[in-house]
Amino acid sequence: MTAPDGLRAVDVLTVVAVTAPTPTVRRVVLTGTAEAVAAAGPTVNLLVPRVDDPAPRWPQVARDGRVVWPVGSHGVALRSYTARRQDPARGEVEIDFVLHGDGPAAAWAAAAAPGGVLGIAGSGDLGVRPAATVLLAGDETALPAISRILAEAAPATTGLALVEVAGPEEEQPLVAPTGVTVRWLHRGDTPPGESTLLADAVAGLDPAGDDVFAWVGAESAAVRAIRADLRSRWGLGRAQHHAIGYWRHGRPMSPAG
């Protein structure tokens, strides 16, 4: 409900299950109203409370989508994530949190248990458009988005998905069209954000044909290098690629913009 001042309360979802699909990922299933779950993605702005805060001071949302924070200390952090799965009919949304780094979302997810809460303050799309050929490139933080893009791609789609993770233990099953190859890149002991594997892999590819779309999500420096390659060597225009820094090395895991 919207108040006379144009502000509305944020949707609050409750944790119902927490699993660990890989050693560094926590998969959190949340429940809420069908309307709240339908609005929670694919890219969703999460309001993450402090660990063990049973009564967060949530902000409100203005008519234009701005988050209006309460006066004084509130302990709630705003972070952008891609929902791995949404099921409005069941009232469930599933979000994967990567635990490397010590930001508020990673800390919350590491301690998450049934009964915990998260707020939602808006959402957006993945910036994808249909194309005969796709190039997807990302690290573990982009796996939910890559999973959704592959699952929703037309059966005749061809292309390549490059995914950088620490090692085989961090790989996840991905459902893809038969013409799309998934290639895992293992950085081994190299810390997240310090590897050039992803950018090097893209640099080693021959540019695809005219009907191609490239989607990139990873650490900010890697994304900048790949974006430059796609624009110069591949010759892709703005409508043919979407590249976003999901996080920045040396800072808490958060959107790099």
The answer on pLDDT for 248 being more than 90 is: no
Q: Are strands 67-68 and 179-186 parallel, antiparallel or unpaired?
A: unpaired
Asked if residue 202 has pLDDT above 80, the reply is yes
In the prediction, which pLDDT does 254 show?
45
CATH of domain 8-124: 2.40.30.10
| Least trusted range by pLDDT, from 29-33, 209-213, 231-235 | 209-213
Residues 6+ apart with CB under 8 A from 190: none
What is the per-residue pLDDT across 54-94, written as a single tens digit (0 to 9) for each? 789 999 999 998 999 998 888 899 999 999 999 999 999 99
How far apart, in whole angstroms, are the C-alpha atoms of residue 214 and residue 205? 13
Strands 241-247 and 212-219: parallel
Average pLDDT over residues 98-108: 88
CA distance 203 to 160: 13
CA dist list (Å): 226 to 14, 38, 148, 214, 231: 37, 32, 21, 10, 9
pLDDT recorded at residue 3: 61
**Res 41: pLDDT:** 83
Q: Residue 67 is encoded by which pair of tokens?
A: 């988050």
Cα separation, 153 vs 129, in Å, equals 10
pLDDT at 2: 57
Q: pTM for this structure? A: 0.91
CA distance 100 to 236: 32
pLDDT at 235 over 80: yes
In the chain, CATH 3.40.50.80 covers: 133-247
Continuous segment of H or E residues that includes residue 247: strand 241-247
pLDDT at 84: 95
- The pLDDT value given to residue 4: 58
**Quick one: pLDDT band at residue 180, thresholds 50, 70, 90?**
very high
Across 41-66, average pLDDT = 91
For the chain, give every residue range classified as CATH 2.40.30.10.
Answer: 8-124
Query: Tell me, which fold does domain 133-247 have in CATH?
Result: Rossmann fold (3.40.50)
pLDDT higher than threshold 70 for residue 39: yes
Average pLDDT over residues 7-31: 96
As a whole number, mean pLDDT of residues 112-129 equals: 93
Q: Which residues contact 138 (CB under 8 A, 6 or more apart)?
A: 145, 146, 162, 163, 164, 198, 215, 216, 217, 218, 246
Average pLDDT over residues 14-26: 97
Cα–Cα distance measured from residue 241 to residue 135, given in angstroms and rounded to the nearest whole number: 9
pLDDT tens-digit readout, 141-167: 999 999 999 999 999 999 999 999 999
